[in-house]
Structure formats: structure tokens, C-alpha cells
Amino acid sequence: MSRALSRASAVVGTELLVRDGRGVRLTPAARSLLPYIERALSEFQAGLDLVRSESDVVRGRIPVSFQHTFGESTLPLLISAFRGRHPEAVFTLTQGARDTCLAQLAAGESDLALTAPVAAEGRNLLSAVLYREPLRLVVHHTHALAGRRLASMADIRSEPFVALGPGYGMRSLTDALFREAAYRPRIAFESQDTHTVRGLVSAGLGVSILPPGGDAPGRHVSAETGNLGWVEVPLDSALAFRDVGLSWRQRNPDLEPLGVRLFRGMVLTEGPGLLAGLVKRRSRPPGAEPPTRDQ
């Protein structure tokens, strides 16, 4: 240290150390300089910590399980925001039914699960809701209910229903709606993704209940699409919504990969704000057009 301060004395142009018996002591000039040196060392240490932290993020993967409906916009938007800060972060993505996503989380095959409805918290499971969106009746564009401003579950009692299969988040939600309406649906088709469900409805093969949005064939009826086309109608039910959320296992923070912890923290604190515009656009009343720049 004394040699370093001696070299620093030559740079500064004044003595920083003086002999004091068998030892040395700081000069007044050195004591004046010391707070600046400490601040510089602190800033340097912060820089080292940042570099090491980024290296930890790069070295580890971030495994996320998610339902199919979140692969088009919700999850990509969150990953894009995170990669803007940690461009080298690597994700491992697995998509499937809600039950599959939660089973992978419980088994340690993924560290985070994006599902709807959000999983109930348990002994070793934590969850947080990110946003809520409505569920709507989806019918063929020529259906008698297509022009309605509001529909009830009673209106589709005799209709063939196009459902997602057991284990899917939407299946549990539609089952709850039918239980509330006190009847069992006449299921005509069971599918494994919402695109197929909308496609079947577009062809007039049944009705369904889905979250808003999507671009299956026939959303915009034209000569090229023949008679394909579907319309969304708001549902008159207190249960016609779904909560979208993130779930993770509760464990020792020291054993959790840094990248997983940072991504989860960003999603929980900033996710609702990042997704607000998307949710607002998706939840816009059927038939409402977004405002133009001149409005």
C-alpha cells in the first residue's frame, strides 16, 4: 500500500505519506484525497458486480412454461423488455396445456409458468396475477347472436359447442360457466389450440367461448374466405373473465439462478404496465375500432 501511495504521490505532485517512527502516516493532502479514492473504489466495485451479474445471467438459462395463447404477444413482449437490458440472456420455452405447464413447474423442468387461470398458491408454490381479460362468446358471422350487444349462457343451451380439451385453462373456465348456468354443453369438437377452435366456429360448426382477439381464418369476411367468418359477443356472466398470472416455486434464493430471479422480478414489477396497452387493445368492445392518429 505504501508503495502504491508513493507512486500516487508522484502523480499528484505532493507527498501523501510521511515517516512516523518505524511506520508511516497520511499527510493532510492524503486525508483530503481519501474520500475521493473510496468513492472511486466503490464505483469500480459496482461495475465489477454488474459485469459479474451479467455473466451469471448469460451462463444460466431461464426455463419458462406457458400456454399457447401467450406465445403470440404476451410472453414475447416480456422477453423483449428483459433482453433489452440483458441481451445475452437465454430462454428455454415450453408450451402446452395449463396442467402441463404447472406439472413441469412442480417437477423442476421449468422455473416459471405463465398460465390462466393463475395457479392457486400452495406450500411451495407462489403466484401473482398480471392482468385480467374478458371471455366472449364466439359465433359464426351469420349466427342469430352475431348482431347482439350481449349474450347469456342460456342463449347457447342448444348450440353445438367447440371446446378446448381437458387440462387446458380455458376448459376449466368454460366448465365453470356451464356449471353456473346449470346445464352441460353439447360438445361437438374438442381441440388443443384456440386457432382451431376459431376456425371451426368460422365454418359454422359450433359456438365457443374464448378470450378476445386472434386471427383465425374468417375474422374479416371477404370473397376469398367464402362463408368463413366469426364474431365475438360479450357474455353476461360474472364469471366471464380470466386472470393471467405467473407462478414459481418457493425455494432458497441462493439456489435460484440469477437470470430467473431477475426476469421474475421484472415481470412482477413492470409486467402489468408493459402489457397494459396490449390488454386494452385485446379487450376493446367487439366492433370498436382503435382511434386514428388524427383523433
Residue 127 within a domain: yes
User: Of 204, 223, 239, which closes a domain?
Assistant: 239
Domain check: are 256 and 127 in the same one?
yes
How far is 51 from 1, CA to CA, in rounded Å? 26
Q: What residues contact 211, with CB distance under 8 A and at least 6 apart?
A: 69, 116, 133, 134, 135, 136, 170, 194, 242, 282
More confident residue, 284 or 136: 136
Number of folded domains that form the chain: 3
Whether 235 maps to a domain, the answer reads: yes
For residue 220 the three cell numbers come to 374479416
Whether 267 and 196 map to the same domain: the answer is: no
* CATH number for the domain harbouring residue 173: 3.40.190.10
| 292 has pLDDT over 50 | no
77 and 215 belong to one structural domain: no
Determine, yes or no, domain membership for 117. yes
Q: Are residues 64 and 120 in the same domain?
A: yes
Please check whether residue 289 lies inside any domain of the structure: no
How are strands ordered across the β-sheet holding 90-95? Answer: 90-95, 61-66, 112-115, 241-249, 125-134
Q: Does residue 178 fall inside a structural domain?
A: yes
- 291 domain residue, yes or no: no
- At 18-39, the pLDDT tens digits run 767 777 777 887 777 778 777 8
Judgement on whether residues 251 and 115 belong to the same structural domain of the protein: yes
Domain enclosing residue 19, as ranges = 2-57
One domain, residues 146 and 209: yes
Q: Are residues 35 and 105 in the same domain?
A: no
Per-residue pLDDT reduced to its tens digit, 191-227: 999 999 999 999 999 999 999 986 555 566 666 777 8
113 and 167, same domain (yes or no): no
Residues 57-68 have a mean pLDDT of 84
Are 15 and 146 found together in one domain?
Answer: no
Sign of CA dihedral 53, 59, 65, 70: positive
pLDDT band at residue 58 using 50, 70 and 90 as cut-offs = low
The alpha carbon dihedral of 106, 110, 115, 118 has a sign of: positive
Q: What is the pLDDT of residue 192?
A: 92
Beta strands 17-20 and 23-26 are antiparallel
